[in-house]
């Protein structure tokens, strides 16, 4: 002990670094547990960033990243003059925004309703049911949506025909204007139940004395819902909304790919699908990378912006 | 709490129950309807009017699908992917989460940063596609397992569970001479079953439902998954964009049944395993989700 003290007084830095090294060596098991796997994560999450170089090149597969000629910002200039790019950008934002807004409002609504159900058995059963679609693949969901809306004996068309509302079956999936709505509703059907989980947990934590006090003051169900349940959800809701805005562009392209078809492409094609289309069918990888890069950068800016806002709002750490 | 019986209160309750029941029904109906169609004679289904019960009961649709060589092997491959992928990822997630939950771990901060930032930064689809190609992972089974081996979200959920464990648990194991691996597998994991169940559920559902990597990277038909086969049938019958989705299940199969019946049957086949597992996990994953949300 004494020796240590003396050493620290003489060469503190040397001691410290040697101490750290020794500590590192003694933790070889923890290193073995984590570093290889984080390494794999690094490869698949960070190495693609290296590919951004391609956006500034005229990339060709045989030459590779190292050999392809640089063309500066040509790809981006082309991008900014490309009307289909703007279309894809519009579709991406429109569908993300619609899903976000619909999901946010409906999740809070459903959580409030579930919270009001007195019968625990009923509540549990409904919860179990509405969580199901979250665990089902988009392939299955889109299969169900296309089947439900099918003009050929699809349940919705049969229902409408039965009510005498329509004479001819409607081809829902080939109506351009309907695609965003159908996409939003499909996503809502899939994720609505799941997104109530956190809200229900918050509601379960509300002090019951608050409800009792309100009752003494003569508050009815609606009044309690409006003045106690809803306000107690607000901090969580704000944080989740902010986070959702940050993740807005990271929602993927699976649903659009599966639900979309050639009739509605002007409204279903999102940035990722456009990039995929360009790279895989036309073979212009540089342009595809430029599109991907644009999306990633906007996405990161959104996340960082949102993180700053979240901090202002008073929620400690988001990122 | 005291329940007051007022007209407003009662009618609100009735309306609320009715609304929730309707939502439940709207969620369940498509599945029950497809189940009825899958159990109904395909030629009879064409006439329409199948709702909750099959009219001409038969198991032929299921027999046809499992007799089809490609679909049978796709089922096997999907099962293999789910089992292997979940096991590998669970081990990886557990070990990383354990290491990162240890406050004295020297590399804790930098590794944690690499992990968390990976949730927000990504190179985008095309650079990722090219990376997979350059790593030689196209047309391999490995492309189903390796890229998703470690996911930041799952690690964070598990780490926040480990953070809640009493610190004395690990200390006393170390004092007894247990090394890190023994401590993790013998001491920590047995008391972490809820979070293990949650992560296992998330991982296995993710693997079972995945098809994009199949679509993008594995054109080799011997590596095709069940979800992808279902996707191809779906694309084919609705005349959708899906490049290369043209040739799929044998024409013979199509002659013996209809696309509608095949789609319904395959939908049920890919959905049922999930329905069998997840209700039992419900109380665990709700805890896992809320934990992750509060800490995340």
Give the tens place of pLDDT for each residue, A164-201: 877 788 888 888 889 999 999 999 999 999 999 889 98
Check whether residue A164 and residue A252 sit in a common domain. Answer: yes
Interface mutation target, options A137, A157, A195, A203, chain B, most CBs of B under 10 Å: A137
How many structural domains comprise chain A?
2
How far off is chain B from A45, nearest CA to CA, in Å? 6
Regarding whether A127 and A253 lie in a shared domain, the answer is yes
Is residue A286 included in any domain, yes or no?
no
Say if residue A169 is in the same domain as residue A256.
Answer: yes
pLDDT at A7: 43
Positions of E strands within chain B: none
- Please state the rounded mean pLDDT for residues A57-83: 84
Residues in B touching A52 (Cβ below 8 Å): 123, 127
For residues A198 and A51, membership in a common domain is answered with no
Which residues in chain B are closer than 8 Å to A31, comparing Cβ atoms? 99, 107
Residues in contact with B179: Cβ distance below 8 Å, sequence separation at least 6, in sequence order: A29
> Residue A76 to residues A82, A287, A300: CA-CA distances in angstroms?
10, 8, 18
**Residues with Cβ within 8 Å of residue A272, at least 6 apart in sequence:** A252, A253, A292, A295, B124, B125
- Give me chain A's average pLDDT, please: 85
**Per the CB < 8 Å rule, is A40 touching B230?**
no
Separation in Å, CA of B252 to nearest CA in chain A: 22
Whether A118 is covered by a domain: the verdict is yes
User: Token digits for B172?
Assistant: 């006393």
Out of 1.10.3720.10, 3.40.50.300, 1.10.287.110, 3.40.50.880, select the CATH number for domain B61-295. 1.10.3720.10
Q: Quickly state the pLDDT bin for A208 (edges 50, 70, 90).
A: confident
At A290-304, the pLDDT tens digits run 998 898 888 888 888
- From A226, A244, A269, the end of a domain falls on A269
Same domain, A22 and A139: no
Percent with pLDDT over 70 in chain A: 92
Residue A288 lies in a domain: no
Q: Is residue A314 part of a domain?
A: no
Contact residues, chain B, for A138 at CB < 8 Å: 209
One domain, residues A61 and A87: no
Residues A180 and A138 in one domain: yes
Domain of residue A227 covers 82-269
Looking at the fold, whether A155 and A244 belong to one and the same domain comes out as yes
Fill in the DSSP letter of residue A81. Answer: T
Clarify whether residues A39 and A162 are in a common domain: no
Provide, as residue numbers in chain B, all residues whose Cβ is less than 8 Å from the Cβ of A189.
26-27
What are the start and end residues of each CATH 1.10.3720.10 domain in chain B?
A: 61-295
B135 compared with A280, residue with greater pLDDT: B135
Main-chain phi, psi angles of A73, to 5 degrees = -95, 20
Give the end of a domain, one of A240, A269, A298: A269
Specify if A36 maps to a domain. Answer: yes
Q: Chain A partners of B121 at a C-beta cutoff of 8 Å?
A: 45-46, 49, 296, 300
Chain B: closest CA distance from residue A202 (Å): 9
Q: Tell if the CB–CB gap between B99 and A114 is shorter than 8 Å.
A: no
Query: Does residue A125 sit in the same domain as residue A222?
Result: yes
For residues A183 and A109, membership in a common domain is answered with: yes
Domain membership of residue A227 (yes or no) is yes
- Model pTM above 0.90: no
Residue B291 CA to residue B194 CA, distance in Å, equals 11
Question: Which among A24, A135, A274, A287 is the top mutation candidate for probing chain B, defined by the most B β-carbons within 10 Å of its own β-carbon?
Answer: A135
Q: What is the pLDDT along chain B (296 residues), one digit of tens a residue?
A: 455 567 777 888 889 999 999 999 999 999 999 999 999 988 888 887 788 888 889 888 898 888 888 888 999 999 999 999 999 999 999 999 999 999 889 999 999 999 988 888 888 888 999 899 989 999 999 999 999 999 998 999 899 889 888 888 888 888 888 899 999 999 999 988 888 988 999 999 999 999 999 999 998 888 999 999 888 887 775 544 333 344 455 555 666 778 788 889 989 999 999 888 888 888 787 776 666 554 43
| CB A299 within 8 Å of CB A249 | yes
| Boundary residue ending a domain (A43, A67, A91) | A67
d(CA B72, CA B74): 5
- Tell me the residue length of chain B: 296
A23 occurs within a structural domain: yes
The neighbouring-strand residues paired with A57 are A70
Token code pair at residue A247: 């993740």
pLDDT score for A4: 46
CA dist., res. B252 & res. B117, Å (int): 50
A258–B267 C-beta distance less than 8 A: no
Q: For B145-160, b where at least 16 C-beta lie within 10 A, e where not — what string?
A: bbbbbbbbebbbbbbb
The pLDDT of A279-294, averaged and rounded, is 87
A165 shares its domain with A252: yes
- Residue showing tokens 């508050």: A219
Place of tokens 């007051």: B4
**pLDDT range class, residue A319, cuts 50, 70, 90:** very low
What is the pLDDT confidence band of residue A85, given thresholds at 50, 70 and 90?
A: very high
Rounded distance between C-alpha atoms, residue A253 and residue B71, angstroms = 26
Residue A303 is assigned to a structural domain of this protein: no
Host H or E run for residue B92: helix B69-101
C-alpha distances in angstroms, A275 versus A70, A282, A293, B241, B275?
20, 10, 10, 15, 35
């Amino acid at each position: 002990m004494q020796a240590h003290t003396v050493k620290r007084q003489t060469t503190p830095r040397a001691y410290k670094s040697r101490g750290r090294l020794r500590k590192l060596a003694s933790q070889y098991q923890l290193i073995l547990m984590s570093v290889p796997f984080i390494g794999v994560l690094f490869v698949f999450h960070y190495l693609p960033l290296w590919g951004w170089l391609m956006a500034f090149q005229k990339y060709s597969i045989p030459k590779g990243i190292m050999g392809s000629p640089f063309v500066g910002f040509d790809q981006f200039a082309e991008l900014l003059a490309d009307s289909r790019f703007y279309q894809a950008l519009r579709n991406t934002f429109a569908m993300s925004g619609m899903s976000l807004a619909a999901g946010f409002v409906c999740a809070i609504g459903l959580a409030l309703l579930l919270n009001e159900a007195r019968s625990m058995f009923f509540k549990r059963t409904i919860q179990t049911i509405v969580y199901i679609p979250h665990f089902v693949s988009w392939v299955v969901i889109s299969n169900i949506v296309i089947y439900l809306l099918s003009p050929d004996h699809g349940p919705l068309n049969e229902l409408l025909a039965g009510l005498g509302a329509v004479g001819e079956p409607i081809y829902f999936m080939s109506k351009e204007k309907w695609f965003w709505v159908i996409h939003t509703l499909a996503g809502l059907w899939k994720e609505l139940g799941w997104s109530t989980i956190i809200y229900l947990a918050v509601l379960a934590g509300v002090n019951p004395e608050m409800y009792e006090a309100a009752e003494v003051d003569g508050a009815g169900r609606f009044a309690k819902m409006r003045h106690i349940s809803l306000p107690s959800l607000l901090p969580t809701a704000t944080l989740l909304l902010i986070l959702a805005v940050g993740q807005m562009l990271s929602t993927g392209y699976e649903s659009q790919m599966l639900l979309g078809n050639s009739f509605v492409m002007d409204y279903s094609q999102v940035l990722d699908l456009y990039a995929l289309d360009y790279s895989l069918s036309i073979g212009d990888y540089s342009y595809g990378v430029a599109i991907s890069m644009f999306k990633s950068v906007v996405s990161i800016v959104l996340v960082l912006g949102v993180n700053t806002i979240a901090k202002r709002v008073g929620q400690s750490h988001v990122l | 709490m005291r329940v007051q019986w007022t007209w407003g209160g009662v009618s609100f309750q009735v309306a609320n129950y009715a609304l929730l029941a309707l939502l439940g029904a709207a969620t369940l109906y498509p599945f029950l309807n497809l189940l009825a169609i899958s159990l109904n004679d395909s030629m009879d289904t064409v006439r329409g009017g199948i709702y909750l019960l099959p009219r001409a009961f038969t198991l032929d649709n299921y027999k046809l699908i499992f007799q089809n060589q490609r679909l049978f092997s796709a089922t096997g491959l999907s099962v293999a992917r789910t089992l292997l992928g979940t096991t590998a990822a669970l081990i990886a997630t557990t070990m990383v989460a354990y290491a990162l939950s240890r406050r004295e771990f020297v590399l804790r901060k930098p590794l944690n940063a690499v992990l968390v930032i990976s949730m927000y930064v990504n190179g985008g689809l095309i650079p990722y596609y090219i990376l997979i190609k350059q790593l030689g992972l196209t047309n391999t089974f490995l492309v189903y397992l390796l890229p998703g081996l470690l996911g930041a979200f799952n690690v964070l959920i598990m780490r926040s569970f480990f953070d809640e464990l009493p610190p004395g648990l690990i200390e006393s194991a170390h004092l007894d001479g247990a090394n890190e691996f023994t401590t993790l597998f013998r001491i920590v994991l047995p008391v972490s079953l809820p979070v293990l169940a949650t992560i296992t559920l998330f991982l296995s559902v993710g693997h079972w439902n995945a098809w994009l990597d199949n679509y993008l990277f594995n054109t080799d038909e011997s590596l095709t998954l069940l979800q992808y086969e279902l996707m191809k049938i779906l694309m084919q019958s609705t005349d959708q964009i899906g490049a290369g989705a043209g040739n799929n299940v044998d024409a013979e199969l199509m002659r013996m049944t209809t696309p509608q019946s095949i789609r319904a049957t395959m939908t049920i086949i890919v959905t049922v395993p999930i329905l069998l597992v997840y209700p039992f996990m419900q109380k665990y994953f709700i805890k896992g989700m809320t934990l992750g949300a509060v800490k995340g």
